[in-house]
Amino acid sequence: MRLASALAAVALAALAVAGCGSSPDGEPNTDRPAQTGAPQGAGAPVGAAARSCETGAVAAEGLRATGISCERARQVMLGWQRQGSCAAPAGASRVSCSSRSYRCIGARTDRGTAVSCSRPGRSVAFVVKP
């Protein structure tokens, strides 16, 4: 009797595992995102959506703000541009500094210096033209 119960439990477990990762027609579910602990239909946390902002500067483009206003993002960007410590030394491919209490890093690219500044729960990104 124990053997029969054990075999029945193994058979049920095998059936349960066989059904995981497949759609009703037997095809793998490769087009659906992985399930997380968030309830279905829940979006990003409040303030986590990035927004595009006008730079208001000729020497920068692609200003993006997350968790802060566009005005504050512009202030951080302009602070980066004005501070001498944020300019990359000749031949350097990366630079870091602080701008308006945000920690910033920049990396030289073909389009200019890609800059990312952040502090807990907030971030700013932009490209400074060469």
SS (H, E, C) the chain: CHHHHHHHHHHHHHHHHHHCCECCCCCECCCCCCCCCCCCCCCCCCCCCEEEECCCCCCEEEEEEECCCHHHHHHHHHHHHHCHHHCCCCCCCEEEEEECCEEEEEEEECCEEEEEEEECCEEEEEEECC
Give this prediction's pTM: 0.63
The percent of residues in the chain predicted with pLDDT above 70, rounded, is 63
Measured distance CA(102)–CA(69) in Å, rounded: 14
pLDDT at 25 over 60: no
Q: What would the mean pLDDT of 72-84 be, rounded to a whole number?
A: 93
